[in-house]
Amino acid sequence: MTEINDAVMDKITKVCLCKSISRATIKKAILEGAHTVQKVNAAVGSGSGPCRGQRCGPKIQGIIEQMKEAGQI
Ligand code: FES
């Protein structure tokens, strides 16, 4: 149940507000090998909105670190 809730939350939670990119999309890019903020940005287009990644960059970095700590990447 928790995993289902996490998956739903990942889909509805926007990490990059400027470009409306979900946490699910960010995580997928990380799983596919984008292990830095710059690589995630290049893969999904985050960081290219009006804030130039000031809001989403730290959040993406945090997700990368969480996934590393969890042994997912
Ligand atoms: S929130 Fe991602 S570019 Fe602004």
Residues 15-63: pLDDT tens digits? 999 999 999 999 999 999 999 999 999 999 999 999 999 999 999 999 9
Q: How far is the CA of 11 from the centre of ligand 1 (A)?
A: 17
What residue ranges do the domains of the chain occupy? 2-69
Q: How confident is the model at residue 2 (pLDDT cuts 50, 70, 90)?
A: confident
Q: How many residues are given for the chain?
A: 73
In CATH, the number for domain 2-69 is 1.10.10
Whether the pLDDT of residue 1 is over 90: the answer is no
* Cα 24 → chain centroid: 7
Distance in Å from the first CA to the final CA of the chain: 23
**pTM, 2 dp:** 0.95
User: Which ligand 1 atom is the nearest neighbour of the CA of 47?
Assistant: 3
Closest C-alpha to ligand 1, atom 2: 16
The reported pLDDT for the residue numbered 11 is 98
The reported pLDDT for the residue numbered 25 is 98
